[in-house]
């Protein structure tokens, strides 16, 4: 089904805020991200829900359905391919591409996307290093890295955790789950323990032992 530009922007925003774990996204987050008001978001969420693009329960935030995720991925694909085009072919610099790619991503033409992809020789990453989903919406997994190897100040997304029940229980207690965004604030050079900021909110100190068992994607 062909969507309006507005619907596409909502799907894309929800997709980005949900992260890898497909966490629920709140009305206010969406409003802030799109520069609209919460009331407008609520209204649109009902429409998206009616189209089965999201799962929506009043006051509970939303998650993308498979269908919604697929559509979001195709928009992301288009956005990143156009960004690649702008930088590689039209000599745009990083700071100039966003606004234009935001427009180009809404052009409706499957054949255009595929021809562009071929013309660009099927790039796997956009100029920011973000992976470009393929035509089926599949993102090539970037190489995972152990959290212990992440340098200071960097932001990483939890992708995989060694399957040890105690560890998993502990992590959930301190608020880390698949998809959580971690920023390494500080590393203790003595014991290699690290101070993390979780999802931009809570600070937690974890031991090197634990950092060894968490895989992240940068």
Partner DNA sequence: ATATATTTTTAGGCAAACCTAAATTTTATT
Partner DNA sequence: AATAAAATTTAGGTTTGCCTAAAAATATAT
The Cα–Cα gap between 107 and 133 comes to 17
Strand partners, 202: 198
- Which parts of 59-88 interact with a copy of itself (CB under 8 A)? 86
Contact pick of 43, 52, 98, 112 for a copy of itself (by CB under 8 A): 112
Q: CA-CA distances (angstroms) from residue 26 to 22, 72, 83, 87, 128?
A: 12, 17, 28, 34, 27
Judged by CB, which is closer to DNA: 6, or 215? 6
Contact pick of 37, 52, 57, 115 for a copy of itself (by CB under 8 A): 115
Nearest approach, Cβ of 8 to DNA (angstroms)?
Answer: 9
61 near DNA (CB under 7 A) = yes
- Which parts of 39-58 interact with DNA (CB under 7 A)? 39-47, 56, 58
Contact pick of 24, 32, 104, 160 for a copy of itself (by CB under 8 A): 104
135 near a copy of itself (CB under 8 A) = no
Judged by CB, which is closer to a copy of itself: 10, or 82? 82
Judged by CB, which is closer to a copy of itself: 71, or 159? 71
Work out what residue 100 binds among DNA, a copy of itself, none; the CB cut-off runs from 5 to 8 Å by kind. a copy of itself
For CA atoms 88, 93, 97, 98, the dihedral sign is: positive
Work out what residue 165 binds among DNA, a copy of itself, none; the CB cut-off runs from 5 to 8 Å by kind. none
Check: CB of residue 61 under 8 Å from CB of residue 51. Answer: no
The Cα–Cα gap between 171 and 207 comes to 12
100 near a copy of itself (CB under 8 A) = yes
17 near DNA (CB under 7 A) = no
90 near a copy of itself (CB under 8 A) = yes
Nearest approach, Cβ of 96 to a copy of itself (angstroms)?
Answer: 7
Work out what residue 91 binds among a copy of itself, DNA, none; the CB cut-off runs from 5 to 8 Å by kind. a copy of itself
5-11: which pairs have CB atoms within 8 A and are 24 or more residues apart? Answer: 5/106, 6/44, 7/44, 7/47, 7/48, 7/53, 8/71, 8/75, 8/105, 8/106, 9/34, 10/34, 10/41, 10/44, 10/45, 10/48, 11/48, 11/53, 11/64, 11/68, 11/71, 11/72, 11/75
- Characterize the bridge pairing of strands 155-161 and 214-217: antiparallel
Which residues lie near DNA (CB under 7 A)?
A: 4-7, 26-29, 34-47, 56, 58-61
């Amino acid at each position: 089904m062909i969507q309006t530009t507005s619907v596409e922007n909502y799907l894309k925003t929800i997709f980005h805020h949900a992260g890898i774990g497909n966490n629920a996204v709140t009305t206010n987050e969406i409003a802030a991200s799109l520069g609209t008001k919460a009331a407008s978001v609520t209204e649109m969420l009902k429409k998206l829900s009616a189209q089965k693009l999201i799962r929506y329960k009043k006051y509970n935030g939303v998650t993308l359905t498979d269908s919604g995720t697929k559509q979001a991925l195709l928009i992301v694909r288009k956005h990143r391919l156009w960004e690649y085009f702008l930088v590689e072919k039209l000599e745009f610099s990083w700071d100039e591409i966003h606004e234009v790619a935001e427009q180009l991503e809404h052009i409706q033409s499957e054949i255009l996307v595929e021809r562009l992809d071929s013309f660009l020789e099927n790039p796997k990453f956009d100029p920011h290093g973000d992976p470009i989903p393929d035509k089926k919406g599949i993102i090539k997994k970037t190489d995972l890295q152990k959290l212990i190897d992440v340098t200071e100040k960097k932001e990483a997304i939890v992708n995989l955790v060694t399957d040890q029940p105690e560890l998993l229980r502990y992590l959930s207690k301190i608020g880390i789950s698949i998809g959580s965004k971690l920023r390494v604030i500080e590393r203790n050079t003595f014991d290699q323990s690290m101070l993390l900021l979780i999802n931009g909110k809570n600070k937690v100190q974890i031991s090197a032992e634990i950092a060894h068992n968490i895989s992240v994607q940068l």
